[in-house]
Structure formats: C-alpha cells, structure tokens
Amino acid sequence: MHLDSELYGNVLVVTACDPRIDAAVAVQFKDKLRELAEGGPERVILDLSKVDFLDSSGLGAVVASMKLLGVERNLELAGLTPTVAKVFRLTRMDTIFTIHTSIAQAIDSYANAS
C-alpha cells in the first residue's frame, strides 16, 4: 500500500496510490496514514481518486484513521470513484465524513472559508 503526502498551506493531502484498499492492506493503510498525519496540520484530506475498489475492511481502516486523528483534527475525503462512493452511501458513512468531489475543490472550500 503506497501513500503519498503533500502539504498545501495548512492542509495535508494524502493520496492513496494503489487501486485497492482491501483486507490485504487495510492495517498497512491505517498505519501509514497515521505516520504521515502525525504531528501535521489539523486538516487532513484523503485523496481516493486512484482507488477503484474499497471493501468493508478498507472502509473500517478509513474510519479507524479518522478516529486516530482525534477530535481536534479532521479527516476529509476527496475524489471518490463511483464504486467507492457507493460503499460510503450503502453504509451511510457518507453522512459521517466531509466528502469533496476533488482535491482542488477541497482546498478551495478551505481557502474560501478562512
């Protein structure tokens, strides 16, 4: 499981580079995301635009990652592909996360709000 990260001002963007977040890599995904986000800005956006398959283990790892960031910090999502968006809708996890259509839109929304 490969994750890239880049800082845009006060926002950390983490990009999931593999096409699948599934049971085989869920724990690895969670650990790597935590490592990257540790000590970073309070706003973290996870770019899922390269992920075309997410199973419930992968979904659990995304939820766990949000919990690991704690209440002071926020994990938002961006760039959900249709199959990934469907898993979030089905499980109603789309009501828990702030979901942006793209990273550009996510960063814009932040710039406009501040």
Partner 1 sequence: MPLEPLKFSTDAADIILTRIRFRANPMAVRSALEYARQSWHGAGVDPGICSTGEQVLAEVLNNVVEHAQAGRPEGQIELDTRLGNDGVICAVRDDGAEMPDQQLPLGKLHDLTMTLNDLPEGGFGWYIIHTLTKDLCYERKNGWNRLEFRITQDHDPLP
Give residues in contact with partner 1 (CB under 8 A): 20, 22-24, 53, 55-57, 59-61, 63-64, 66-67, 70-71, 83, 86-87, 89-93, 95-96
Strands 11-16 and 3-8: antiparallel
- Minimum distance of partner 1 from residue 40's CB (angstroms): 18
- Taking the least distance from each CB to partner 1, the nearer of 25 and 103 is 25
- Minimum distance of partner 1 from residue 90's CB (angstroms): 6
Do the Cβ atoms of 107 and 8 come closer than 8 Å? yes
> Rounded to the nearest 10 degrees, what angle do helices 56-69 and 82-90 cross at?
70
Do the Cβ atoms of 79 and 103 come closer than 8 Å? yes
- Taking the least distance from each CB to partner 1, the nearer of 29 and 107 is 29
- Taking the least distance from each CB to partner 1, the nearer of 6 and 42 is 42
* Separation of alpha carbons 33 and 40, rounded Å: 11
Which residues make Cβ contacts (< 8 Å) with residue 110, sequence separation at least 6?
Answer: 10, 11, 43
- Minimum distance of partner 1 from residue 63's CB (angstroms): 5
- Minimum distance of partner 1 from residue 12's CB (angstroms): 19
- Taking the least distance from each CB to partner 1, the nearer of 31 and 55 is 55
